[in-house]
């Protein structure tokens, strides 16, 4: 597991406190699907995701956004051992959903951009660096059960 300084823990909690899971969750998948459209191959059962308008209004995507951020909440609350906690999630994405793990990085990027739009100047370079270190650890945890 990654080692965290007290300062880094404080910064990550500080960012996370400002994240409204409902609000950010809604935007998250919209950004991913619009900016990286090949991701729609994983969303066959989500109904209409074929236009920007449809994507922005799709309730299943909004719901999935909240699922993702709830999982991230688990990581924030268990910064020293979330890798083990994420093993079943990683296995599910590998064996059942069959997600190309490159997409974890792209979704993480979309999370950071959504947060940047919300936090603006508060996501200063130091905060950005720490937050991205945290998301890299999350992405690594998601990759852990891939062979």
- List of residues contacting another protein (CB under 8 A): 27, 30-31, 34-35, 52, 55-56, 109, 112-113, 116-121, 123, 125-126, 128-129, 132
Instruction: Determine how many CB atoms are found less than 10 A away from the CB of residue 33.
Output: 24
CB of 105 to another protein, least distance (A): 10
CB of 125 to another protein, least distance (A): 5
Rg (CA), the chain: 15
What DSSP element (H or E) covers 144? Answer: none
Tokens found for residue 79: 């910064």
CB of 8 to another protein, least distance (A): 13
Nearer to another protein, 35 or 67 (CB): 35
User: For residues 137 and 2, what is the distance between their CA atoms, to the nearest angstrom?
Assistant: 7
Nearer to another protein, 98 or 121 (CB): 121
What separation in angstroms does the CA of 129 have from each of 20, 29, 122? 21, 23, 12
Nearer to another protein, 98 or 120 (CB): 120
């Amino acid at each position: 597991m990654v080692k965290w300084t007290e300062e880094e823990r404080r910064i990550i909690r500080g960012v996370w406190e400002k994240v409204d899971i409902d609000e950010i969750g809604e935007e998250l998948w919209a950004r991913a699907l619009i900016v990286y459209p090949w991701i729609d191959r994983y969303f066959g059962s989500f109904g209409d995701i074929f236009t920007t308008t449809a994507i922005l209004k799709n309730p299943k995507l909004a719901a999935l956004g909240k699922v993702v951020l709830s999982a991230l909440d688990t990581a924030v609350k268990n910064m020293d051992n979330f890798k083990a906690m994420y093993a079943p999630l990683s296995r599910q994405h590998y064996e059942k959903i069959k997600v190309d793990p490159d997409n974890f990085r792209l979704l993480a990027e979309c999370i950071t951009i959504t947060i940047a739009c919300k936090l603006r100047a508060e996501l200063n370079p130091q905060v950005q660096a720490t937050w991205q270190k945290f998301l890299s650890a999350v992405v690594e945890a998601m990759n852990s059960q891939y062979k």
